[in-house]
Amino acid sequence: MKDNFPVLGFDIGGTKIGVGLVSSDGKLLGKDRIENKHSYPDEILPKMVEIGKRLVADAGLNMDQIRAIGIASPAPADFLNGIITCPTNQKHWINVPIVEYISEHFGVETHFDNDANAGMLAEWFFGAGRGFKDVIYLTMSTGIGGGVIANGHLIKGASLVAGEIGHMVLEPNGIKCNCGLTGCYEAYCGGLAIAQRMQKELADQPDHPIVQHAGGNIDDVDMIALEKAVTEDNEYAMALWSETCERNAQAYGMLMNIFNPERIILGTLAWATGDMFMKPVEEQIPRFAWKQTREACTLVKSELRRDIGYYAGPAIALNGLYEKGEFERP
Ligand SMILES: [Zn+2]
């Protein structure tokens, strides 16, 4: 079916929920945000329904024109049964049957997946992955979430947790990861892990340029402070940046040889820093991937960037229809 129709979606994040109404050909018909810091589902769920219905009405549409709804949530969650179990940043969201609630209150079929898969689907249907059959998306943000499209389908895996690329172990005796394993890719290249590492290593150096770029407060040291120190050629910053680029190249090279993708689409860090990230990473890739796989693959930056949260939920809805044979992607 090549007809054009609207889908609605919610992207549940640690501090806010993105609500997007998108047409199947990629036009953003409506968007809003719900603050979601330390909140209780009892107050947020009715708001999701109210705002979703308002977006549909404001776009001049009726609810029965909305073919599907998609919900993106951080892992871990019970994706099979549509239940938000207890995400790390949401201590009050314990065993919330989100799919049942949303589908009942809207009267529309509802699909559910993790936020990184949602980002992958958003780029695939509406962004840098359009028209490709084999693509990988990496969030490259505070953590490293991943999603994999192989042979034209999102890989879900036997227990629905496929695509946890951030937790491939790159260094068995390396840095401890927040997930419990040691030496994960995310422990080297996730924004939060790098910030924590700098806070530890620079704890007794209040005059260090990185600490100064964070306003002199060690607890505020983050990727932005690092980036500034790298552009000033600070030795510590450049060594850390170069180690990070090498680890990223290692991970991308592994993905190239395993999945042989046409594109690897990179989120926040890549588009926020541009060439100072992309160039050293590309230079290192030949150490980690065969000529055949790297020549077939282009590293690209996310196209949807900051707006990805509005497209994430709708992309899950579209993928639900696509997998049932009710939607043919462009
Ligand atoms: Zn890990």
Are the C-beta atoms of 156 and 171 separated by less than 8 Å?
no
Q: How far is the CA of 236 from the centre of ligand 1 (A)?
A: 25
* Rg (alpha carbons) of the chain, rounded to whole number: 20
Q: Please check whether residues 251 and 160 belong to one and the same domain.
A: yes
pLDDT for 329:
80
Q: How far is the CA of 182 from the centre of ligand 1 (A)?
A: 7
Q: How far is the CA of 144 from the centre of ligand 1 (A)?
A: 9
Tens digit of each residue's pLDDT (9 = 90 or more) over 251-298:
999 999 999 999 999 999 999 999 999 999 999 999 999 999 999 999
Report the number of distinct structural domains present in the chain.
Answer: 2
Q: Please check whether residues 119 and 145 belong to one and the same domain.
A: no
Parallel, antiparallel or unpaired: strands 298-301 and 135-138: unpaired
Is residue 214 in some structural domain?
A: yes
Q: How far is the CA of 247 from the centre of ligand 1 (A)?
A: 14
Are the C-beta atoms of 121 and 312 separated by less than 8 Å?
yes
Q: How far is the CA of 175 from the centre of ligand 1 (A)?
A: 10
Q: Please check whether residues 184 and 293 belong to one and the same domain.
A: yes
Mean pLDDT by runs of 10 across the 330 residues of the chain is 87 93 97 92 96 98 97 91 83 92 98 96 98 97 96 95 96 95 98 97 97 97 98 98 98 98 97 97 98 98 96 98 91
DSSP letters for 181-246: -BSBHHHHH-HHHHHHHHHHHTTT-TTSHHHHHTTT-GGG--HHHHHHHHHTT-HHHHHHHHHHHH
Q: How far is the CA of 157 from the centre of ligand 1 (A)?
A: 18
Q: How far is the CA of 75 from the centre of ligand 1 (A)?
A: 13
Nearest-angstrom CA–CA distance, 139 and 100: 28
Q: Please check whether residues 295 and 216 belong to one and the same domain.
A: yes
Q: Please check whether residues 142 and 291 belong to one and the same domain.
A: yes
Q: Please check whether residues 298 and 317 belong to one and the same domain.
A: no
Tens digit of each residue's pLDDT (9 = 90 or more) over 209-231:
999 999 999 999 999 999 999 99
Is residue 291 in some structural domain?
A: yes
Q: Please check whether residues 286 and 139 belong to one and the same domain.
A: yes
Q: How far is the CA of 107 from the centre of ligand 1 (A)?
A: 38
pLDDT for 181:
97
Are the C-beta atoms of 170 and 178 separated by less than 8 Å?
no
pLDDT for 330:
67
Q: Please check whether residues 157 and 119 belong to one and the same domain.
A: no
CATH of the domain at 70: 3.30.420.40
**Domain hosting residue 172, numbered range:** 135-303
Other residues' Cβ atoms within 10 Å of the Cβ of residue 329: 14
Is residue 271 in some structural domain?
A: yes
Tell me if residue 312 falls in helix, strand or coil.
Answer: helix
- For 256, half-sphere exposure in the C-beta direction (CA atoms, 13 angstrom radius) is 26
Q: How far is the CA of 136 from the centre of ligand 1 (A)?
A: 19
Q: How far is the CA of 172 from the centre of ligand 1 (A)?
A: 11
- For 85, half-sphere exposure in the C-beta direction (CA atoms, 13 angstrom radius) is 9
Q: Please check whether residues 109 and 244 belong to one and the same domain.
A: no
Nearest to 313 by CA among 35, 3, 19, 6: 19
Q: How far is the CA of 134 from the centre of ligand 1 (A)?
A: 25
Q: How far is the CA of 225 from the centre of ligand 1 (A)?
A: 24
The helix or strand, by DSSP H or E, that contains position 314, with its residue range, turns out to be helix 308-323
Cis peptide before 76 (omega within 30 of 0): yes
pLDDT for 2:
60
Q: What is the dihedral of CA 169, 171, 172, 175, to 10 degrees?
A: -90
Q: Please check whether residues 238 and 257 belong to one and the same domain.
A: yes
The conformation of residue 154, written as its DSSP 8-state character, comes to: E
Are the C-beta atoms of 328 and 75 separated by less than 8 Å?
no
Is residue 73 in some structural domain?
A: yes
Amino acid at 43: E
Q: Please check whether residues 79 and 92 belong to one and the same domain.
A: yes
Q: How far is the CA of 288 from the centre of ligand 1 (A)?
A: 21
Q: How far is the CA of 155 from the centre of ligand 1 (A)?
A: 20
Q: How far is the CA of 180 from the centre of ligand 1 (A)?
A: 6
Please enumerate in sequence order all residues whose Cβ is within 8 A of that of 163, keeping only pairs 6 or more positions apart, or say none: 116, 117, 120, 145, 146, 147, 148, 155, 157
Q: How far is the CA of 193 from the centre of ligand 1 (A)?
A: 10
Q: How far is the CA of 289 from the centre of ligand 1 (A)?
A: 23
Nearest-angstrom CA–CA distance, 285 and 140: 17
132 backbone dihedrals φ, ψ, rounded to 5°: -100, 155
pLDDT for 92:
86
Is residue 76 in some structural domain?
A: yes
Is residue 330 in some structural domain?
A: no
pLDDT for 76:
82
Q: How far is the CA of 321 from the centre of ligand 1 (A)?
A: 32
Nearest to 240 by CA among 191, 287, 204: 191
Q: Please check whether residues 78 and 200 belong to one and the same domain.
A: no
Is residue 329 in some structural domain?
A: no
Is residue 328 in some structural domain?
A: no
